Amino acid sequence: MRKLLLLALALAPVLSFAQGFQVNLEGQKQIGMGHTGTGILQDGASVFFNPGAVAMLPQNYVQAGISPIFYKSDFNPSGTSVQDHNANKIAYPFTFYGVWGPKSACWKLGLGVYTPFGGLNYWGNTWQGKYVLESLDLKAIYFQPTLSIKLADFLSVGAGFVYNRGSVDLTQAIPLANGSGQPGQAELKGTGKGYGWNAGIYIKTESGVTIGITHRSQVTTTISNGNAIFNVPASLQSSFPQPNTFNSTIPLPAINSIGFGFYPCSKWVLALDVNLVGWDIYKTLSFDYASNTPALHDTHSPRNYQDAVSLRGGAQYKANANMALRFGGGYASTAVRDGYVTPEAPDANRVYVTGGLGYTLAKHLDLDVSFEYEHLMKRTQTNIESQLAGTFETNVYIPGISLAYHW
């Protein structure tokens, strides 16, 4: 039993980092338009959405934004009327972009600092799944220097190097009670780094439609010398050696996107994006402890993920010279096969709607706000490793705000 529980503990933070917290909150204008941005040119967030479009920006940009995530998940254990709820914790994904180039030049330099993965989830120490998860605090920050070149009036290309720095802190109960009857607890804390790239092409057609094609590479993130901390009865401490560390490698998937921009009149912009996320690389999860015991083995566990697809659409209406209204929505399929759903990230097929507003505060200063509601479909599962069985249902609420200075 201890081996199985430790196996589930070992896998939990890695699974969460890779799947359930792919937050996609990289620009307020783009969020307001249903997360579209591959085939349209809006602002400095093109450093992320399509590096190839950056050279087409008519101005230079410095902008920053934040999108707090309110994550509400319920769990109904199979065969009961109990409803467990995660606590009200707020994560704060942020973005920063800088774009610069001489007005007469055919190139621009860009820098993006953004948080494509992150989350905060707290289920507590009294719910049925406490031996799978009590709490999770996850952060990942990507740094992306970028070069974009305008090859012709209708064509530009660009690419950026990606450095990822992430951290995870997870706690989980262990069914080994002390003298007062309290269960033990395990905590995994670690930081990781990885490298990748982001490239894109931006095309203006004779008909006026714009097209963007991008590839964001796989980022293999390595967690080295993370801390494995076990609070267990003194009589069992030899089975949970302290101090102890762990190493693991996480393959974050490549993403291929194509997007289109349509301009029926001067006041309207319509956008459509299609994304293919290459989760099929995530076949096996390996976890290596520095110190092993008969109860604590290195693990190699099959995950067998599948590719996922998302469809996104949005629109912007220029109400007047200073104000733009935005709305959109989309659908995303889950990459998590049946049998692998966990409370760290109870993933499922999802739908979402978004809205936003942009306002020109001054000649060179823009304020953008957005809001997103996301619903993950009900999903009844029995996890093949922890045997936690029940129905998850999740709703996500995400307001956002950003300021952009351009010249």
Architecture of the domain delimited by 2-406: Beta Barrel (2.40)
On average, the pLDDT of the chain sits at: 89
Band of pLDDT at residue 13, cut at 50, 70 and 90:
very low
Distance, in Å, from the CA atom of 117 to the CA atom of 119, rounded to the nearest integer, reads 7
Domain regions of the chain by residue span = 2-406
SS3 169: strand
CA-nearest of 305, 308, 326, 314 to 257 is: 308
Distance, in Å, from the CA atom of 94 to the CA atom of 162, rounded to the nearest integer, reads 16
Query: pLDDT, tens digit, for every residue of 113-139?
Result: 999 877 788 898 889 889 888 998 888
Residue 175 structure tokens: 């069914």
Instruction: Tell me which range, 60-69, 110-119, 276-285, is most confidently predicted by mean pLDDT.
Output: 60-69
What percent of the chain is modeled with pLDDT above 70? 93
For tokens 């905060």, the residue is 120
Question: Residue 30 corresponds to which amino acid?
Answer: Q
Query: pLDDT, tens digit, for every residue of 303-359?
Result: 778 899 999 999 999 999 999 999 999 999 998 889 888 887 788 999 999 999 999
Instruction: State how far the alpha carbon of 199 is from the alpha carbons of 46, 216, 241, 326, 371, in Å.
Output: 11, 6, 45, 27, 28
Neighbour-count burial of 300, counting CB atoms closer than 10 A to its CB (0-12 exposed, 13-18 middle, 19+ buried): exposed
For tokens 């950026």, the residue is 160
Query: pLDDT, tens digit, for every residue of 140-198?
Result: 899 999 999 999 999 999 999 999 998 888 888 988 877 677 888 888 888 999 999 99
